[in-house]
Structure 1
Amino acid sequence: MTTVRLEYGDGHLDAELPDDAIEIRAGQSGAEPDPLPDPVAATREAVQNPVGMPRLDQLVGPRSKITIAFPDRVKGGVHDSAHRRVAVPLLLDELERAGVSSRDVTLVCAIGLHRKNTEDEFAALLGDDTLSRLDPSQIVNHDAEDPDQMVDIGTSRHGDPVQMNRRLLDADLSIMLGHTSGNPYGGYSGGYKMPATGLTSWRSIRSHHSPGTMQRPDFVPASTDSHFRHQLQAIGRAMEAAMPRPFFTVDAVLDAASRQLKVAAGAIAEVEQATWPTAGRRTELVLDGPPADVLVVGMPRNFHYGNGMGSNPILMMQAAGSSISRAKNALRADPVIIVASVCDGWFNDDEFPATVAVYDALQTVDTAADLTRFEDEFSTRTDWVEAYRHGGAYHPFHAFSMAYMGGLAKINSRSVIIAGAQRPDLAHGMGAATAATVEEALADAGALLRTDPRVLVVPELSKPAYHLSIGR
């Protein structure tokens, strides 16, 4: 047996796993591409030589109104050379050379249904250079519930509602920053995923973060050729059709340390095609077979959605479902998933006010997919909407999208076993089994599968992970 340290709650725990367990750690598995030696120069080169679109100085001029949308804190880092920190000042320089006044630029954080950023978080995300060039009123959060800012423009070619931020319609040009990173939803972040999830309403987001899309067989494993991804593209293109010009996008492929591996700018479709191959070399990891029988993951309390991932059972199961989406091609058809999670019942009501109610509703239905009957009631509840708008909370529909991904953990496994749960009853309420330790959970998995299990372990869910598959 070998000892593997797993993230667990506010710290770690050591688990004894078979010697032949395959351990996957971000930045330490596979051949990572080298980061760009000069991300500033690479970003400038990309912006000045866009693909599929003219240069900025051919698109805008004096008195042009510009919206620059950028990703929230969920991805990308806050180091000095982070993509947001590098790209925004360079874009302001290019716009100034084209005659655009900085007074005519608005920065919008594309939070979608995530919680809004504080001024201190904007400072960390954007850096002093950007903050010194713009008035604070020019840096805003997207607000999916602001009646003065949201516009209904109809439906996409798939019939999905398209309700978008008015700033995109009012601007002469909207520039979109994105991070092209491996994602369990639709293959990669960035590209059309950015506007379709970051600058729309909960009703638009519901159209794809729903059982009707997420329970299709093409959603798991993560893929860029899924109905989910096609919906994002269709919504994004409907947005562009209503805008004065299509998005000018600047996407960076990121490594496990959020360093740029490649930067491309221009039309979204061309930028996706330019960045996805590099993202694939970083993200797609092929393992020697046979497929694993058991996936073991270590789950911290503090995760990219915020505090509570390893203690709030709705978020805990979402992370389990995401882990399966990333690893499904390296697992047997009916694997057992073992999650080292504290699961102590701290829901973090301040940031996730709707998750207790969604958890309670889940106890009254057969599957997570049946929660759809509660969506309209919960997602329009005044106090929760106000908490999203003014109280630093996630939108109430976000809890449903988390529960639906959690439901995929059950659909795509023989069993989910929560190891080390301090509130086993909450894990049971999510449809999971429990064990006191990882070792006990592994013994239970072996008995359930009737085999000496081959184990795949991802010790740190807080780090960017891979899309895993087995070599043929």
Structure 2
Amino acid sequence: MKHIAFEYGAGTMEASLPDSTDIFIPGETVKDPACIPEEELEKAYQKSLAHPIGMDCLTDLVQKNEKPADRQTVVFIIPDRVKGGEQATSHRKLAVKYMLKELYAAGVKKEHILFIISNGLHPRSTEADALAIFGPELYGDFWHTGQIISHDSEDAEHMVDLGVTRRGDPVSMSRYVFECDIPILVGHVQGNPYGGYSGGYKHSATGITNWRSIASHHVPAVMHREDFTPVNGGSLMRDKFDEISMHMEYKMGHPFFCCDAVLDTMSRQIAIYSGYAREMMPESWKLADQRTYVHWARKKYDVLVFGMPQKFHYGDGMGTNPIMMMQALSAQVLRFKRIMSDHCVIICSSLCNGFFNDSRWPYLRELFENFQHDQMNILPDMNRLGEYYGTNAEYIRKYRFANAFHPFHGFSMMACGHIAEMNTSAIYIVGAQEPGYARAMGLKTRASFEEALADARKKYVGENPNILALPMTFKKAAVHLCMADSKLDSMDEYGRRPGDLHYGEHDVNQIKADQAGRELRD
């Protein structure tokens, strides 16, 4: 037998699994592409920023602007703490450092710099969050002057309505970004179950907009399509990210300047890419695919085994709150669907103790209760309440002023959460202290991994199932597992890659025409 420890609460729970069990740990079982040595990071940033893909470098953008350099405003759009690493050499910290150096040399004044943390519907960042994201030096330079702020999607005065995309999706964005002279997106190219990768146009389409715009893609009608599972770069959701962000660029009259880093399992930089997102994303994804879409499995697996800590990327309680648990389970289905058999079963340890963390998710207890009544048979049935929760004044106040998630965020979690039920025969929660919460979400409960596996063998997978153990699932940056003999990567089943858009070409052409016009006038 193999004795493997899986995450459980703040500790671990051990499982005894058959010797035939395979084990996969991100960054260990298959090594990541080599990261850039720390002593070479400055050179890598300087090279990328000096030769951006598809647009001018920052110095030239400043010089070609109609305003004098000392009057130009720059807004950096910075991801929140959900992803990206917080080490001294993190991409956020270094990208900002080297871009500021270039902007200052070009004549931009420090007082005209603003940093907006692009939390979207996530909790607005606290002072402690800002210190962790920016580090002591940048924090000390900009926090006390009010030049580091957190996006507030419900602040009507500082949001601007940009109408709709050609598909009809509503677009709103931060007025701070819309009105600045140079908007800079700092993003992370890490595997994400929502559309393939973070960074690029996903960053702007989700981080600086509002719930109505996000409701055009984080909903069952988009997330339950065949093109969404398994995760890939050619889904309707990904197209919508691109269209919404290009619509922002069209309305601004110029593109975002992007600086994205492909990151490894430890959130270290593998490569730096800068420039125009529409042309830069496909290039960055080519390398990111090598780390993220891991062609490893030589058989389909009937049982996936992993553990869920109480606290991980969305915060304390994600691994015990029943709705967030469902999202976390489904995220793994999205990542691993390519290697799952048609009757696959998941066995996952979780405290499942009823801790909702009401200060962070003040609405989820009520959502859970709603799900138990009023003909709510499956999670998509809850979607009809999205408008009701999305406009709930007290929950919105807690989002704006008490560092809680926006109430509509729960609906994107539920839309994702149903994917686990759609693609598995059964899901067992092991070690639940309050098992009724798991059973109320349609999950099975057992006291141990061994009991769960015995039941799954009897009912679903037979006596000799192919078992894959996935320790550290929520502790390390995940990968998207693929069959060893497959050739698919971030593109969808039809061979489309990011940039192969069917909508928004008018927006792209108009942006380029506007740029050419400015250059001609200059």
Q: TM-score, normalised by structure 1?
A: 0.98
The residue number in structure 1 matching 2:56 is 54
Partner of 2:516: none
CA contact (8 A) 2:153 2:159 kept: yes
Q: Say whether 1:438 aligns with 2:449.
A: yes
Deviation larger for 232-241 or 152-161: 152-161
Query: Which residue pairs with 1:156 in the alignment?
Result: 165
Unaligned runs of 5+ in 2: 63-68, 486-522
> Secondary structure of the residue that 1:192 maps to in structure 2?
helix
Q: Calculate the TM-score normalised by the size of structure 2.
A: 0.89
RMSD across aligned positions (CA): 1.1
Question: Contact (CA 8 Å) 2:302, 2:461: kept in 1 or not?
Answer: no
Q: After superposition, give the CA deviation of every residue in 1:309-347 in whole Å (9 maximum; x if it has no partner).
A: 111011111100000000000111231111111100000
Show the counterpart of 2:330. 321
**Residue of structure 2 equivalent to 1:280:** 289
Shift of 1:381: 1.0
Larger Rg: 2
Q: Is the 8 A contact 1:43 1:87 kept in 2?
A: yes
Determine the C-alpha separation between the residues in 2 that align with 1:447 and 1:43. Answer: 56
- Contact persistence 1:191–1:268 (CA under 8 A): yes
Supply the distance in 2 between the matched residues of 1:20 and 1:450 (Cα, whole angstroms).
15
Residue 158 of structure 1: CA displacement? 2.2
Matched, 1:69 2:77: yes
Candidates 369, 372, 397, aligned match of 1:360: 369
SS in 2 for 1:239: helix
Shift of 1:439: 1.0
Where 1:328 maps in the other structure, the secondary structure is: helix
Q: Work out the CA distance in 1 between the residues paired with 2:78 and 2:5.
A: 35
Corresponding residue of 2:414 = 403
What is the distance in 2 between the residues matched to 1:78 and 1:40?
17
Q: CA deviation at 1:434?
A: 1.0
2 CA distance for matches of 1:450 and 1:254? 37
Equivalent in the alignment of 2:440: 429
Partner of 1:458: 470
Partner in structure 2 of residue 193 of structure 1: 202
The ranges of structure 1 where at least 4 consecutive aligned residues each deviate by more than 4 angstroms after the TM superposition are none
Q: What's the secondary structure of 2:330's corresponding residue?
A: helix
1:57 Cα offset (Å): 1.3
The answer to whether the aligner puts 1:256 opposite 2:248 as a matched pair is no
In structure 2, the residue matched to 1:289 is 298
Q: Is the 8 A contact 1:299 1:462 kept in 2?
A: no
Distance 1:54 1:292, change over 3 A: same
**Which ranges of structure 1 fall in alignment gaps of 5 or more residues?**
none
TM-fit CA distance, 1:447: 1.5
Q: Residue 91 of structure 1: CA displacement?
A: 1.1
2:47 maps to which of 30, 45, 48: 45
Kindly report which structure 2 residues correspond to 1:9-408, keeping only aligned pairs within 5 A, or say none: 9-37=9-37, 38-60=40-62, 61-134=69-142, 135-364=144-373, 365-408=376-419
User: Are the equivalent residues in 1 in contact too, given 2:344–2:461 (CA < 8 A)?
Assistant: no
The 8 Å contact of residues 297 and 481 in structure 2, kept in 1 or not, is answered as: no
Contact 1:358 1:400 in 2 (8 A): no
C-alpha separation in 2, matches of 1:298 and 1:243: 45
Q: 8 Å contact 1:89–1:129 — kept in the other structure?
A: no
> What is the identity, as a one-letter code, of the residue corresponding to 1:70?
I
Distance 1:433 1:132 in 2: 50
Shift of 1:127: 1.5
Q: CA separation in 2, counterparts of 1:159 and 1:362? A: 30
Separation in 2 of the partners of 1:157 and 1:46? Answer: 33
CA distance in 2, matches of 1:270, 1:410: 37
Equivalent AA in structure 1 for residue 235 of structure 2: S
Deviation at 1:449, TM superposition (A): 1.9
Question: Is the 2:34–2:270 Cα contact (8 Å) retained in structure 1?
Answer: yes
1:471 maps onto 2:481 in alignment: no
* 1:415-461 deviation per Cα after TM superposition (whole angstroms, max 9, x unaligned): 11111111111001111111111111111111122422111121222
Distance of 1:90 and 1:219 partners within structure 2: 37
Partner SS for 1:453: coil
Cα deviation, 1:277-314, whole Å, max 9, x if unaligned, reads: 11111111122322000111210001100000111011
Structure 2 distance, partners of 1:102, 1:386, is 32
Offset of residue 122 of structure 1:
0.7
Question: Aligned-pair distance for 1:156?
Answer: 1.6
Query: Using the alignment, how far apart are the partners of 1:88 and 1:288 within structure 2?
Result: 39
Q: Secondary structure at the match of 1:329?
A: helix
User: What are the Cα deviations for residues 22-74 of structure 1, in whole angstroms up to 9, with x where unaligned?
Assistant: 21212212131111012222122211210100111111233111111011101
CA pair 256-136 structure 1, distance change in 2 beyond 3 A: farther
Structure 1 range deviating more: 59-68 or 339-348? 59-68
Query: Cα gap change, 1:416/1:369 in structure 2, threshold over 3 Å: closer, same or farther?
Result: same
State the secondary structure of the residue aligned to 1:335: strand
Q: Could you say if the C-alpha distance between residues 462 and 154 of structure 1 is closer, same or farther in structure 2, counting changes exceeding 3 Å?
A: same
Deviation sequence 1:154-199 (CA, Å, 0-9, x none)? 1122211111111121101100000000111111111110000101
Bigger drift between 372-381 and 387-396 goes to 372-381
How many residue pairs match? The answer is 472
State the partner residue of 2:500. Answer: none
Question: Aligned partner of 1:433: which letter?
Answer: K
Give the secondary structure class of the aligned counterpart of 1:175: strand
What percentage of residue pairs aligned between the two structures are identical? Answer: 40
- Cα pair 2:336 2:481 within 8 Å, conserved: yes
State the alpha-carbon separation in 2 of the partners of residues 114 and 382 from structure 1: 17
Distance, in Å, in 2 between the alignment partners of 1:332 and 1:14 is: 25
> Is the partner of 2:54 in helix, strand or coil?
coil
